[in-house]
Amino acid sequence: MAGLQAGAPTPTEITLHGASRVLEVAFSDGARFRIPFELMRICSPSAEVQGHGPGQEILQTGKREVDVIDLQPVGNYAVLPTFSDGHASGIFSWELLYRLGAQQERLWADYAARLEAAGVERDAPMPVKAGPGCGSH
3-state secondary structure of 98: helix
Mean pLDDT of the chain: 90
Query: What is the pLDDT at residue 135?
Result: 42
Of residues 131 and 47, the one with the higher pLDDT is: 47
Query: What is the pLDDT at residue 4?
Result: 61
Of residues 128 and 47, the one with the higher pLDDT is: 47
pLDDT of residue 134 exceeding 80, the answer is no
List, for residues 74-133, the tens digit of each pLDDT value.
999 999 999 999 999 999 999 999 999 999 999 999 999 999 999 999 999 987 664 444
Provide φ and ψ at 36, rounded to 5°.
-60, 140
CA-to-CA distance for 80 and 82, rounded, in angstroms?
7
Structural domain spans, the chain:
11-118
Going by pLDDT thresholds of 50, 70 and 90, the confidence category of residue 137 is: very low
State the fold for domain 11-118.
Answer: NE0471 N-terminal domain-like (3.30.2020)
Query: In sequence order, which residues have a C-beta less than 8 Å from that of residue 107 and are 6 or more positions away?
Result: 39, 43, 100
Query: What is the pLDDT at residue 131?
Result: 42
This prediction has a pTM of 0.88
